Amino acid sequence: MGLLKANLLDRVRVVKTRGKHQSLGKILPLYFAAYAVLLCALGAFAATTADERFGVRGPLLVICGGFVSVFCRRKHLSQNTVFGVLAAVLVVLVFWVSAGSAEPVPGLLGLIGSEHNSGPGAMLAWFVVIYSFAMITEEVIVFSIVPCLALLGLMASENPNAEIVVYFLGMVLCSVFVLVYDNILTRTPPAKTDAPGSNPADGGAALPGAHDLRSPLALTVAVLGTAVALGLVASLPIRMAGNIIAERAPQLNVPAAAEFSAEVSSRYINQLDLTGAPPRLSDRVVMQIASQRPMYWRAKVFDDYAGFAWTCRPDVRPLEQLSDVEWRVHGIRRNPVSGELGARVPLRQTVRLLDPPIAGVLVSAAEPVAVLSHVTVQQDLDRCLRAADAGSMTSYKVFSMVSVATPEQLRQAGGTFPVGLRELNTHLPDDGNSTLRSIAENITQGMHTQYDKVKALETYLRTDFEYSLTPPRTPPDADAVTFFLTQSKVGYCEAFASAMAVLCRELNIPARLATGFATGTPSTDQSEDGDTIWTLRERDLHAWTEVYFPGYGWITFDATSSRTAHASWGNVAREYLRNLLAGATARTAGPLLILLLLAALSVYMAKSFVWDPVHSSTWWKAQRSALRPKRYTLEERWDAVYARASRRLHRRAGSKLPHQTPYEYAASARPRLSPDVASALDRLTRLYVHGAFRRVGLSDEDFSALRQSAAALKQAISDSARG
């Protein structure tokens, strides 16, 4: 027993002192591995958001944090001191930026060098940066894995690319090393201690060496290598199957396959659902386009509206090959009566893809006429481009005819449409909707040209509706455009573009919905041809309306409102729950169960860590006793009347001493009182003593007499004070 007790005491002494007395040389491997974990998490964030300034400053700050943490450890500074200094610095920064900016959070993030100024990812990234300055003890170093794992998991949900896999594998390897090495340090006695067992010769644990780490690290490398190999082998057929399903699911009309296709990519599919939520888009750069002018970069066109979704014709055919790298687009009309080349100029675009195009879809401006590519290029019935081998496509050049038609030219457009075009692009389910037709006619009342009517619809949607990425969900069996125009009046770009296209069709104006990318962000650099380089990110995905004008072709109109809907947190949460419950299926049951589990866990945590400690505290017991209505006995009520009445004499005659009887107190107070007050006090004292000794048989008349005597004493004191 004595030996066991000594070993336990030695173990406790080792654990308590290891953070203070472990030599820096033994701790440095733990520091290096932990900071590698931090850098992997920040690298994943920078790669997802394409935030170049943060990608440089974030790791530099983390490295500085490592030097600060080691310095604080050598100076034996406490953890609370370091966290307190960091908190003070943050408070000063917030107040400093708030004093000179109406938007303190973007201003603060801009000050410290982040362009990604919203969302939980940015908060986690800067938490990791700040955390790196306070990694003094081993416990804090090991805990750094938790926020880094949360940050990388959040970024992986937005950026399932190869760089995320690299960062993840690096984090796993370094995290395993941190856990293994920390366990070895825990079992190793601290340096320069007199604790028994610190000497290996005495049977104590040996200092950590290469032989201690060889086995766990070898196991880690073996497990990770097997996982990577299996992942590469398994991911190839899964990816090929996903591409095939994404390509053919709408044609086969298989609901499960179409649903999986939508999950693979919400950007390039042959069916655009209007009843769900918008895709979650990051700031990750997906392509760069060199062009002389900004354009809407079209990827897909949808011309069949079904009330809840848009669909497009999936048929494709190869372009006409002019040479090994040159392809010509079919179908551009040059007829002077119904052609599409009126008021159009050529535009060259050089596209550099940072990711392989999903489902092979290639973007271009307006109407492409020729493509330069080493990969076979195809086109659909709406002259949208697609690569036959998307995996090997890294860049291409496309020449388009873009419209420069003026409003006056479009007002004078003729009324002769190509055969079949008007019937296809004015079709509506059930031959239209009377409510929508009435709205369209009221907006365009008194207008005679097609252009003026289209502009009136565009202005109406831009001014009377609001933009939101969390709009109300369309109820089941309801028309999406009707719900948007008459009830919610809040939506994202697809709702605005759909509403304008449907309203145009209600007026027998050919219109369709186009998806692709907005113009993007211009760069200060230029291409070899002297064109401006436009950077396109995921968040630049957009939808707009195209209207056909005879002689001029399809003209772009963007009805998306710049008015942002500002919803409160309560409304957002309520709408989210309503949408979740309304659309609950076997696939969405998981988030609902997780939400219920979190709610139950929150209630349990509040009960365990808030209610139970407070309920069992002495303070709460005292407050509960004070809040409860107390039932007084007859004796307590009798004593209370005398005590309240005699308390009024304390300022004139002094307080009643504990050893004094009522008669003794009255006798001692009489010389300092006026005759009327003394007489009233004597009468009160006699009644009180008489009832106090009786205690039994006190009637309401007795209480009334005592209260009247107390009131007479109060009145006598008041009269004496005025006299």
How far apart are alpha carbons 96 and 36 in whole angstroms? Answer: 32
Whether 287 and 349 have beta carbons less than 8 Å apart is answered as: no
Report whether pLDDT(322) > 60. yes
Top-ranked range on mean pLDDT: pick from 141-150, 329-338, 589-598? 141-150
pTM of the model: 0.52
Across all residues in the chain, what is the average pLDDT? 75
Report whether pLDDT(573) > 60. no
- Tell me which of 459 and 230 has the higher pLDDT: 459
Helix (H, G, I), strand (E, B) or coil at 228: helix
> What's the pLDDT at 26?
76
pLDDT-above-70 percentage for the chain: 68
> What's the pLDDT at 438?
94
Q: For 140-198, how does the pLDDT look when each residue is reduced to its tens digit (9 = 90+)?
A: 888 888 888 888 888 876 665 556 777 887 788 888 888 888 887 776 555 444 444 44
pLDDT class of 99 with cuts at 50, 70, 90? low
Mean pLDDT, residues 695-720: 83
The pair of three-digit structure tokens given for residue 87, joined into one six-digit string: 């908190």
The amino acid present at 248, given as its one-letter code, is R
The pair of three-digit structure tokens given for residue 396, joined into one six-digit string: 């291409």
309-311 vs 316-318, strand pairing mode: unpaired
271-273 vs 285-291, strand pairing mode: unpaired
> What's the pLDDT at 529?
84
- Tell me which of 206 and 433 has the higher pLDDT: 433
How far apart are alpha carbons 367 and 384 in whole angstroms? Answer: 8
Phi, psi for residue 75 in degrees, rounded to 5: -85, 0
Mean pLDDT, residues 279-303: 87
Mean pLDDT, residues 364-389: 91
- Tell me which of 440 and 658 has the higher pLDDT: 440
Q: For 664-681, how does the pLDDT look when each residue is reduced to its tens digit (9 = 90+)?
A: 888 888 888 888 888 888
Q: Which residues contact 548 (CB under 8 A, 6 or more apart)?
A: 417, 421, 422, 425, 510, 511, 554, 555
Neighbours of 698 (CB within 10 A): 16
The residue among 49, 51, 83 whose CA lies nearest residue 65 is: 83
Q: For 428-458, how does the pLDDT look when each residue is reduced to its tens digit (9 = 90+)?
A: 998 888 999 999 999 999 999 999 999 999 9
> What's the pLDDT at 192?
47
Top-ranked range on mean pLDDT: pick from 98-102, 285-289, 630-634, 699-703? 285-289
304-305 vs 309-311, strand pairing mode: antiparallel
Mean pLDDT, residues 574-586: 55
The amino acid present at 696, given as its one-letter code, is V
Whether 532 and 292 have beta carbons less than 8 Å apart is answered as: yes
pLDDT class of 199 with cuts at 50, 70, 90? very low
Q: For 154-167, how does the pLDDT look when each residue is reduced to its tens digit (9 = 90+)?
A: 887 666 555 677 78
Whether 319 and 371 have beta carbons less than 8 Å apart is answered as: yes
Report whether pLDDT(200) > 80. no
